Structure formats: C-alpha cells, structure tokens
Structure 1
Amino acid sequence: MASMFMSSLDQSIIATAMPTIVGELDGVEHQGWLITIYILAVAVVMPLYGKAGDTWGRRYPFLIAIALFTVASAGAGFATSFYELVAWRGVQGLGGGGLMILSQAIIADIVPAKERGKYMGPMGALFGVSAVAGPLLGGWFTEAHDWRWSFWINLPIGLLAFAVAWATLKLPSHRSERRVDVLGAVLLAVATSALIMVATWESMVGSYDLDDGRLVALIAGTVLAAVAFVAVELRAEDPILPMRLFKNSVFTLSTLVGLVIGMGMFAALGFLPTFLQMATGVGVTESGFLMIPMMVGMMATAISSGVAITKTGRYKIYSIAGMGIATAALVWMTTITAEISMLQYSAMIFVLGAGLGLVMQTIVLAVQNAVDPAEIGTATSANNFFREIGAAVGTALFSSIFTSRLVDGLEEVLAGVPQGAGEVASSSLTPETVAALPEPFKTGIVEAYADALAPAFWYLVPLLATGFVLTFFIREIALSDIAGMVARGEAITGEEAQALLAEQADAGGSLAPARRDEPDGLVTRGDLAVPGDLDPGDLVTSASSDDVGAPAAR
C-alpha cells in the first residue's frame, strides 16, 4: 500500500505546485513535460514489470522499483534546472510503473481471489485518496514550505517500504529459459511514447495542425509502431503482452472498462480545482480540500465492496453499479453553474467517487481471477497500462474541448473590461485577478468557466455510458480459493502445508515454520524443505475456470 500510494500520488502532486516550480526553474514554455514524462515512463514500463514478475519472480523487481522511485524523488527535490527535474521525473516513472503493478500482483500471489476483495478494496481506495491528496499536498507544500517537499515526502515512505519488503517479502525467484522479447519491448515503448506525445501535442507544442509535418509524422509513426508491435507479439516465443489474452472475454471487457475509467476520471479531476479557484476565489490549498468529498465516497465504497465480495464471492454487480453511478454523477455535473452551492458541488463529486470506488479494483480482481496464474502479473499490468493510456488521451482531449470553449467565452467578456481596471488577458488570468475585477466582469468570467466546464462533461458521458454497458457483458467466474503462488506450484497452503510441517518435525528435520502473517499459513518453496520422496508436482493446483485462456483444473 505504501508503494501504491507513492506511485499514484506523484501523478498529481505537482499539479498545484507547477506554476511555482516552472517559474523558479525557467521552464514555463515546456511545463507540460513534468507531467507527461512521468505518465509516459509509467505506461512504458508497466507491461515490462508485469512480464518480469511472471518470468523471474516479483521480489527483486519490486525492490528495484522502490529503490528507483525513492532515489529519483531525492534527485527531483534537489534539481537545480528544469531539464534536470524532467530527467528525474522520468526515472521516478520508471520506478512508479513497477510499484503500481507489482503491489497488485503480489497480493494476487499470496491471497486467493475469494479473499482478495478485502485487500484490493483498500488499495483502490488509496488510489482515490492519492488523486485528491496529491494536489492538496502539492499546494500546501508550495504555499507553506517549499515545492521540493512534494518530492522529498517520498523519501521516508520509500525507505520504510524498501526495508519492510526486504525483510518480510519472501517471494520465490527463479531462472527462466525463455527468450526475452526485446523487439516487442522496444516497439511497445515506441508506440506508447508516440501515442502519449500525440495526445499531449497541443499542451506541449501548439494546436493540432495537420499541415504540421512533425505532427503527421508522429501520428504515422504511432500507427506503424502499434501495428508492428501486434505482428511481433503474435509470433514471439514469449511475448511481453500475449495477444491470446484478448481472446479471454473477461480480460478484454475489463480492460476496456479500465480504459474508459482512465479517460473519464482523470479528465474530470484535472479541471475541477481550477474551476473552484476561479468561481469561489479560494486558494490553491483550499481548492484541494474541496475535493475531499470525492475521496470519502471512493474510500467508503471501495472498502465496503471489497469486504462484501469476500463474504459473498460475487463481484460483477459492483462493477455494474459503480459504472452506472459514475455515469449518472457525470450527467449531474453537466448542470454546474457559477452560482452552484458548495453543498451541491460536494454531493456531486461524492457520488462520482462512490461510483469509481465500486468499480476500479473490482475489474482488476475480475482480470486476475480469469487468467492463468502464470500470467497474473502480465494481465494486471495490461489492465493498468490501458487505464494510464486512457488517462493521458482523455485528459488531452478534454483539455482541448474545455480550453477552446473557455477562450471564446473569456474573449467576449474581457472585450468590455474598462481600461481603468488594468490590463487583463485571458492567458494570464489568476483567481486574484478575477477577484479584483469590477462587476459585471467578475461574474462574467466565473460564468465563462462554468459554461466551458459543464457542457464539456457531456463529451465524457458517452464514454462512461459505454463502460456501463460493457460491465453487463463481463462474465462472472467463481472466485478461486487458491492463491497464485499455490496455483503455480511455488507454494503450498492449508492442510497440505500443516501435514508436511508435522511430517518434517516428526522426522527431526529442520524446517522454518509457516509465517503467521501469510494467508492460511502459506509456505513458499524457500521456507519449505520438501521430503525427497514427494514429487513437487503433486503440490501443483490451479484455479478452475471455463473461460477462454484460463487454466483448467488439475
């Protein structure tokens, strides 16, 4: 959870600190890179970490990810130039992608799907907490202390997470004879990088002008790299992202729902604080506080649904309800006006958070339960990968729609501002500038923000509605009561483990006891000296499923 928190927090923590950071480091013209480079690095390495964990074990990739992220956080905090900070943000992303994926895959390794809801629920809630806490902490550090603490906050958490993982994370590592899919990894990195650059082109370079040869070449390169990647993966001996996963209906539909959530959630979150600052005149930190109702809604439903899934074994209904509630909340948010009360606004985002909390980790659980235990990491990383891509593309598209409507509205209002009110330009408006303007211009600018934001949400409604429809077609497979490591033959548990422990003790052998903090007394190969006359293959048990691509019961 500490690792998941660090990684997701750093996607949003510099949003409110950005003006101060780029102003101090002379990077105003290219400030978009501070966010883009992190998202890009996270997305590129997600499938690589997932595959590495499945192939060689998750212990050392997880430790490497924590170390990379922690060291990069220190480097970013001490950066003395804008481009140095961008470089450290990229290294942060290289670690952050592993933290997101491996933390979820490790839970799947040691906790059976039937019990996993009560673990995945809090992790999903934590993702929502970080999305709100990031801008809040970034604003507070910038206003009350120093923006560098937005990065240094990771140091104690990272060091503690590394120490605890090193001492207690007893996961097996193993060698693999399979050939590494280097070409697939390179093409995936190229295609992902190009796609995110296309999505963020307007914020980094300028408008989407198809007469610009650079943009046309970038789009063409994105398509070619994506096609080449699919072709290579279809023929690779051990692909980074096996195309056969997409034959599994549960994986495909859940991943599409994740893509939709990424496009809708981050686009909605990204512009609400700006609206609040302009509409109410609150400061950076205060606008972050006004996002807390969404965090509360997400935490409440993520944790409660996780407990309910563990008790009942049913999970599909929570995906359906979550997407339905989130879609309804977004429709409600299209009614935002300049005169909206904070009570009504809080109710809106509370409902949105409640819907997202029901569905976000539920679809990850559905994916993990439906695939071969040997591909849990790969499948988990793919699901998260498409959500990250959705976030990048969705935010960019929503930004273009919102900004174009806003500029048109502001130009009309500002054209009538009297000269005595001072020089005012739409590109340099701040909450303080707006508060200082006389009426009716102040109200006109606030209304321009509301008129640009509320209708823009309508562009997201069809996306979330599509995700809502897709959840009805996700086939509910009975949750496995076997942990991933047990299913792969890397560990034994329950009565088998206790019987072997007793047998070894009776024989006078030396055997470390099963860890008390591991579910059902799970014993890994590293802890257990299996008697010589026992075939380790007898211990292999795999989760049963009748879905395409999932393992048959043995």
Structure 2
Amino acid sequence: MAQASVASHGPAASEQARPQYTHRQILEILSGLMLAMLTAMLSNSVIATALPTIVGDLGGQDKLSWVASASLLTMTASTPLWGKLSDIAGRKLMFQTALGIFVIASMGAGLSQGIGQLIAARAGQGLGAGGLSALAQVILGDVVEPRQRGRYAGFMGAVFGVATVAGPLVGGFIVDADALGWRWCFYVCVPIAIVAFLVIQRVLTLPKIRRDTRIDVFGAFTITGGAAVLMLLLSMGGKQFAWNSVWTYGLVIAAVVLIVLSVVAERGARDPILPPRLFRNPTFVLTSFISICLGMAMFGTMIYMPQYLQIVKGMSPTASGLMTLPLVLGMLVTSTSSGQVVTRTGRYKLFPIAGMACVATAMFLLSRLHTDSSKVLIGVDVAILGIGMGLTLQIMILAAQNAASTADLASTTSGVSFFRNLGGAMGVAAFGAILTSRVASEIASGFRSAGISRPSGGSTLGSPDEIAKLPQPIRDIVRDAFTSSLETVFLVGVPVALLGLLAVFAMKELPLRGSSHRGKDTPTPTTPEPTP
C-alpha cells in the first residue's frame, strides 16, 4: 500500500486517490478503528455503574449529570472540527492526536481529587472521544465503497454494543474490587488506546492529498459555542438557577445568537465546517434529526438505568452491569446481521424503521418498571432497546455517506455524529433535570404522606450504599421517589423516539453505490463514484 501524493480538485479526484485495499487489509484497518471506538465508547459506559459511588466519594449527587454530560458536551462540540482538521492535516495524524488527548485526559480523571477536577478531565476525554468516533467512520468511508460498507459498518456497531455491556460490567467489577477502586474505571481505557494507536500506525496508509483549504475559525467558535451554551442551559437549569431566571433567559439569548451567527459564518466561509449545501440534502437533514432522537434515548437510558438498578433494586455495581447483557446481545446480533443483509440486498430503510419502533417500545416498557419488577422483565425491556439501537445506529451513518459526494464525506460523517452526540448530551442533561426535580418533590411528598419529619443536615440522596443504610421508612420513601421519577424520565423518551420513527418514514432510500459482489481478496475499486 504505497502512499500517493495527489492534488484534490473535486469529488472525482478525491475518489481516484483512494488506494486499493484487499479484504484482509480492510480487516486490519478495521481492527485498529474498532479498538479506538471501543476506547471512546468505553469511557462513557464504564462509569455508568460507578457514578453513584464516585459522586458519593467525591461529593455532589446534584453534579452526577455533569460528570456524564461534560464528556458528551465536548464530544458534541468538537466532532465537526475533527472532520475539517482531518481534511487539512490528514486522517491518520488527527486520529492519533485524538487518541493522545484521550489518554492524557483519562489519566487526569483517575487522579482527580475533587468533583470539579473530574468534570474537567471528563471534558478532555470527550474532546478526544469526539475525534475517535467521527474519524473512525470517516476513515472507513475512505477505504470502503458504500455498497460494501454495510458488512464492515456492522462490526463498528457491534463494538458499540460490546462497550455498552463491557463498560458497566468492568466498572462494576472495579468498584467492587477492594484492590482497585473507581479510579481504575478511567485507567482501564489507557492501554486499549495505546494499542489502537500502534495498530493504526502500522496498518493505515492513506494518500497524502494537497487540499487548498483553511480552518473556519468563526464557524468553529459559533458552532461549538452554541452547542456548549445549550448544554450548559440544560445541565444547570432548575438546579444551579431557576428556569424562570435571568440566567436562563441570558443563556437562551446567547445560544440563539451563536446559532444564527454560525449560519452566517458557514454561508460566508470558504471552507465551512458544516457546509450549508449539506442541509439542502434531505437525507443528511433526516439522518441528523433521527440521530438526535436516537442519541437522546440511548445515552439517557445508559446513564440513568444504573440508578434504577442500584438504588431502587439494590443491586451491586457488578450485578447492575450484568443486567445490560440482554441489551448488548440484541445489539450485537442486529448490527452485524443487518450490515450483512444491506451488503447483499442494497436495501437499508427497513432496518431503521424497525429499529426506532423498538426504541420507542423499549422506552415505554422501561417507564412501566416498579420497585418489584422482575429481572426477567427488565432484561426483556433492555433487550428490545438493544435491538432497536443495533438496527439504527450504523445504518444512519451509511445512508448519510451514500447520499453525499466524496468531497463531503468527512463533513457529512462528522455532521451526523455531531447531531447524535448533541442528542445524547441533551438527553443526559434534560433527563437529569427531570430526575433531580422529580426526586426532590417526590421525597418531600413521601415524607408528608408518611407523617415523618425530614431529617436535618442535608439531603437524603447519596450513594447506593448510603441509601441502603437509611432507616426502613426513609429508605422506602427514597426508593419510591427514584422509581416514580425514573418512570417519568423514560416516558419522556417515547415521543422522542416516535419523532425519529416518523423521520425514518420520510427518508428516501437511495441505491447504494458500488458493486454487490466481490471476491475475498479483491481490492476496493478506485473508479469515481457518481455524485447523487
């Protein structure tokens, strides 16, 4: 795989620059990308079961959503930037840079001595993870044509499923192990990231393309600023300040101004981060909207389901991690099998239709869980959610890439990833605001109904261990409050998923570019692909 140095003069020239890869070489590159994706996804899922213990140790149950959403915020805001930077400096260099940032931030998170330091380190993790999640898909798009991409994209989706289940399991084991402790939830990602760096260094060889481009500084500032302000509003509203307050109105105005300025910036930029022409592509608009809906339901469930399992059901972190096994099994089976079917048939729209229907159904079923719900019922509910995620996640990326010109591949991929992460950050923040508000009112109502005076000295909320040690009447009130509040949280996810389902129906299914058959060791063709 010799490197080439060519000038880029449009989609055809970029497509001609694609080197020839055999199936074996693609699998080698895929292995490095999968390790990096595993690292990025694991950083969020590994702390899910450990969060109650972490905030109990460092203090700040009210800041739990910040520990989770800080990384999602920076991941969301930085995703479009990574795509543009990879166009300028090269995919491989920026991918390895993202890995380096992630490793440094992970070490910082493990060494944190306070909740503020941990939140800052988590923001650094999100910055690196944003590059990994976006550029992995871009690189896959560089080396594999759309028709064949489904068979490999399914494996990428499976990695997400593995991280989803491995994270809570690993996190629960680490927290329960006396010799480790929660800090190892962050250290455990480091060796995987280093291995991914070395694998990519050895197997990935992409042509050096001279691009006449520049960084859209104004667009970068307004896009990332608008996303950051919106996340601050959702994360802090109703907690650090009242919804009906000067802070709320100020942040709303700031978000609107930055979003308007980002539109102006992108329309006037020579090389915009999110080119306005992308939004004239109905497939990009719809896949981005679907990704927002899916991200809200997905990340919201991942972060707050352990709250139900540990606080309401009294499970240990390890046991709550095991309860996610049905989710990952459903996701593994559907993501890999759907990718193979898409490659053979060239049809893909049916899968996200079924997927979003499953997500909506799962969110409704999760909202019906109570303090006495059986483990079998919980397992069935999360399995349906996993099936829905597996049928939808990678297909959205594939559909968007297939509808884009080769010149817009990086912008399209990072754009869809941006909106999915934005939905996730919005979901975590909004669901957290709902949970915090509802828990406080439900606990107060519970004490009044029981005729019990609320204990002085602060909130009864804390880590699962602290809640388990409360006197029986108070413990029951707290658990009932969490149950009722989480019912509301999951119920809010139902209309969100249904909106995503309607958007899938509105999406036009375009023929997948590329051949439907190829020998095991046949290289990827380098003939130009037509621009839709």
TM-score (norm 1): 0.82
Cα distance, 1:348 vs structure 2? 1.0
2:362–2:384 Cα contact (<8 Å) kept: yes
Q: Counterpart in 1 of 2:223?
A: 188
Counting only pairs closer than 5 Å after superposition, residues 29-428 of structure 1 correspond to structure 2 as: 32-80=65-113, 82-144=115-177, 145-202=180-237, 206-211=240-245, 213-415=246-448, 427-428=460-461
| Deviation of 1:159 (Å) | 1.4
Question: Matched residues in 2 for 1:431 and 1:232: separation?
Answer: 48
1:422-501 residue pairs with structure 2 within 5 A? 427-428=460-461, 431-432=464-465, 435=468, 443=476, 445-481=478-514
- Counterpart of 1:174 in 2: which secondary structure? strand
Aligned residues of 1:421 and 1:437 also touching (Cα < 8 A): no
C-alpha distance in structure 2 between counterparts of 1:216 and 1:479, whole Å? 46
Question: Is it true that 1:520 corresponds to 2:506 in the alignment?
Answer: no
1:251 CA drift (Å): 0.9
- 1:114 CA displacement: 1.1
Between 117-126 and 395-404, report the one with greater CA deviation: 395-404
Structure 2 CA distance for aligned equivalents of residues 15 and 277 of structure 1 = 11
Q: Secondary structure in 2 aligned to 1:427? A: coil
- Distance between the aligned counterparts of 2:58 and 2:464, measured in 1? 23
Task: Kindly indicate whether structure 1 or structure 2 has the higher relative contact order, using CA contacts under 8 Å at least 6 residues apart.
Answer: 2
Per the alignment, do residues 328 and 20 of structure 1 end up closer, same or farther by CA in structure 2, a change over 3 Å counting? closer
Partner residue in 1 for 2:5: none
Contact 2:102 2:125 in 1 (8 A): yes
Q: What displacement does 1:21 show?
A: 4.1
Greater alpha carbon shift after TM alignment, 331-340 vs 44-53: 331-340
Deviation for aligned residue 1:78 = 3.4
How far apart are the structure 2 equivalents of 1:332 and 1:419? 33
Cα displacement (A) at 1:399:
2.4
Q: Is the 8 A contact 1:54 1:378 kept in 2?
A: no
For residues 316-344 of structure 1, what are the alpha-carbon distances to aligned partners after superposition, in whole Å with 9 as ceiling and x for unaligned? Answer: 11011111122122222332222211111
The answer to whether the 8 A contact 1:78-1:148 is kept is yes
Q: Which amino acid aligns with 1:350?
A: A
The residue number in structure 1 matching 2:528 is: 542
**Structure 1: which amino acid aligns with 2:208?**
S
Letter in 1 for 2:490: F
* One-letter identity of the residue aligned with 2:523: G
Partners of 2:418 and 2:261 lie apart in 1 by 18
One-letter amino acid matched to 1:521: P
Aligned to 2:27: none
5+ long unaligned stretches in structure 2: 1-33
Radius of gyration: which is bigger? 1
Structure 1 unaligned regions, length at least 5: 484-493, 496-516, 524-538, 545-550
Q: CA deviation at 1:263?
A: 1.2
- State the Cα distance separating 1:256 from its structure 2 match: 0.5
The whole-number CA distance in structure 2 between the counterparts of 1:208 and 1:332 is 32
Count, aligned residues: 496
CA 1:256–1:156 in 2, change beyond 3 Å: closer, same or farther? same
Alpha-carbon shift at residue 20 of structure 1 (Å): 4.6
Q: How far apart are the structure 2 equivalents of 1:348 and 1:30? A: 28
Root-mean-square deviation (Å): 2.9
For the residues of structure 1 that align with 2:322 and 2:205, how far apart are their CA atoms? Answer: 39
Distance change in 2, residues 1:401/1:80 (3 Å): closer
Distance 1:387 1:147, change over 3 A: same
8 Å contact kept, 1:115–1:481:
yes
**Preserved CA contact (<8 Å) 1:58 1:173:** no
Equivalent residue number for residue 510 of structure 1:
none
CA distance in 2, matches of 1:36, 1:441: 30
Q: What code does the residue aligned with 1:173 have? A: K
- The letter for the 1-side match of 2:332 is M
Q: Identity of aligned pairs, percent?
A: 35
Q: CA deviation at 1:137?
A: 2.2
Q: 1:29 to 1:275 in 2, by over 3 A?
A: closer
Q: How far did 1:349 drift?
A: 1.0
When residues 90 and 330 of structure 1 are mapped into structure 2, their CA distance, relative to the original with a 3 A threshold, is closer
